[in-house]
Amino acid sequence: MSKTGAELLMESMISAGVKHIFTLSGNQILSLYDASIGREVDLIHTRHEAAAVHMADGWGRLTEQPGVALLTAGPGHCNAISALYVALMAESPMVLLSGHCPHAQIGSGAFQEMDQVAAAKPVTKAAWLVEDPDHLDQDIADALSLACDGCPGPVHLSLPTDVLDAPVSPRCLQGTDKTDKDDTSIGVVPTSDVDDILHQLTAAKCPLILAGPAMGRSFRWTEVKRLSEATGIPALPMESPRGINDPWMHQATNCLSKADLVLLVGKKLDFSLRFGQPPFFSEGCRFIQIDADASQLRPGKPGLLTIQAEPTRIVRQLTAAAQVLERLPREGGHDSWRAEVVAAQKVTPSEWEGLRGSAGQPIHPLRVCEALQPFLDGGAVFVSDGGEFGQWVQTGLEAQHRLINGPSGSIGSSIPMGLAAKLAHPQLPVFVCLGDGTFGYHAMEFDTALRYNLPIVAIVGNDARWNAEHQLQIQNYGEARTVGCELLPSRYDKMIEALGGHGEFVQHPDDLTPAVERALALRLPACINIAIESVSAPTFRLSGSFNEPMKVD
């Protein structure tokens, strides 16, 4: 009996190591559902298409293996677009497979027909329409590889139903490379260029290494830290939409203006760095930008040297070169400068100690952090959404396993990302921290958590408002002109109880730790709904204005 395109595609994904497919069913992908039966792959069926993409994104970031989302055509595909943008900005390796109207009916007004590739291209590394069932194995191999190569990111394939249903020829031909894909497999940088960069770094008085989203996690961040140790140059990850005002950086944000040379490894010179302009960086600060994607480089900008290269490779080359020169004295040395940046990153305001131990009601976000930190010290996974409460916990908590909303500035991804985290680390507790407004985006994914036995613990900071927008309105228009920010102090814990999970409502800080302990002991998806004080997110920038009307959650 001949094999169909759907069967070939499913077999190819499993052979490539895909273990979970995050999905929501629909007409155009039912052949793939059928092809999954009896095979060693789990379909994790979500309640919204965006949640499936957020789960694939979270899986990709935590494991550095491409997550796979499978959605239906038309409206289902469109529901994924905003989540794809989140993954693109976070440089997350993932593949979106979307069903598509039959290839033979394109242009005839077929059911849910649209140009899905055109819709996906702005928010993916590459997107294309599959046209030949014999090449489906090569198409998926190309997509999975491209998602991880160079700068990681999402890749999209649209899958016409007639291509999936068609029989594969006995001699299944190997596909050819797609012409609309960029080859980001950039080779080794010449030794002369490496030596020149290293010379500039060692000659600088206060050099700094800033790592982009992908370079700030997993094995890539390990390589950056090795370079930092080999050269004595401080390194900071940049994964927050608040960029140089990322509260996690604490007082280290004020060290940026002292830097005279900044090495950007996989980091764009974009809004998050205020485009390298004063007063956030000094007038004479120079930049060296290394990126695999030529479109992200800005050659010709004064004070900027751009190099197209795979950042991890050049970081390894720089480390090796620095280790060879380790016995030679550095020009001026950077140990004291590095110590200054490291110490500044740990500094917090003196009043925080009191807030962490406060018995006040509503509960201050830092008091929530104080209750959660011991569990993170024990190895728990920390997932954080955006918004004001999200910024408080991002700055107030430290964790070995950390997953935040990312440079897109989006909110709403944390619950599905938490489910992916539990799949990636089933033996560890997973805490998902989010605000009450954010909770409304994907609260029904608790149904998914229950169906697949994924006992995450959601920590909801409930101040009954969209506080990020509320604070921006106060900054820009005054407190008397705030509008459209109020919410109800809803009992989200009761909603999770109704679904079959565990819920608790906490109003007194002394009840925080017992509530968390009960939630973990029950091993059920849980929601701890906490009445928090409505305060603006922390800021550590001592100079310059950040009162721009910009949504950066």
> CATH number for the 5-165 domain, one of 3.40.50.2000, 3.30.70.580, 3.40.50.970, 3.20.20.70?
3.40.50.970
Residue 299 has pLDDT above 80, yes or no: no
pLDDT for 466 equals 95
Q: Which CATH architecture has domain 351-531?
A: 3-Layer(aba) Sandwich (3.40)
End-to-end CA distance of the chain: 54
Torsion angle, alpha carbons of 324, 330, 333, 338, to 10: -30
Token pair, residue 323, equals 């280790």
**H, E, C per residue of 226-246:** HHHHHHCCCEEECCCCCHHHC
Proportion of the chain above pLDDT 70, given as a percent? 93
pTM for the full model? Answer: 0.94
Cα 3 to Cα 134: distance, rounded to the nearest angstrom: 10
pLDDT for 183 equals 44
Of residues 245 and 42, the one with the higher pLDDT is: 42
pLDDT for 546 equals 35
Arithmetic mean of pLDDT, 251-274: 95
Q: Is the backbone peptide bond immediately before 311 cis, with ω within 30 degrees of 0? A: no
Proportion of the chain above pLDDT 90, given as a percent? 87
Residue 171 has pLDDT above 70, yes or no: no
Residue 310 has pLDDT above 60, yes or no: yes
pLDDT for 295 equals 83
Cβ–Cβ < 8 Å for 497, 418: no
pLDDT for 345 equals 94
Token pair, residue 208, equals 């700094």
pLDDT for 547 equals 35
pLDDT for 542 equals 55
From-to residues of CATH 3.40.50.970 in the chain: 5-165, 351-531
Cα 538 to Cα 518: distance, rounded to the nearest angstrom: 30
pLDDT for 191 equals 83
Quote the radius of gyration of the chain (alpha carbons, Å).
Answer: 24
pLDDT for 190 equals 80
pLDDT for 330 equals 52
Arithmetic mean of pLDDT, 161-175: 80
Q: What is the per-residue DSSP string for 448-510?
A: HHHHTT---EEEEEE-SB-HHHHHHHHHHH-GGG--S-B-----HHHHHHHHTSEEEEE-SGG
pLDDT for 1 equals 65
State the average pLDDT for the chain.
92
pLDDT for 9 equals 97
From-to residues of CATH 3.40.50.1220 in the chain: 191-346
At 39 the three-state DSSP class reads coil
Tell me, what amino acid is at 388? E
Q: If pLDDT is split at 50, 70 and 90, which confidence band does 263 have?
A: very high
pLDDT for 426 equals 98
Cα 169 to Cα 181: distance, rounded to the nearest angstrom: 26
Q: If pLDDT is split at 50, 70 and 90, which confidence band does 456 have?
A: very high
Counting Cα atoms < 13 Å in the Cβ hemisphere of 291 gives 23
What residues have CB less than 8 Å from 192, skipping those under 6 apart?
Answer: none
Cα 9 to Cα 313: distance, rounded to the nearest angstrom: 32
Give CATH superfamily name and number for 191-346.
TPP-binding domain (3.40.50.1220)
Arithmetic mean of pLDDT, 75-92: 98
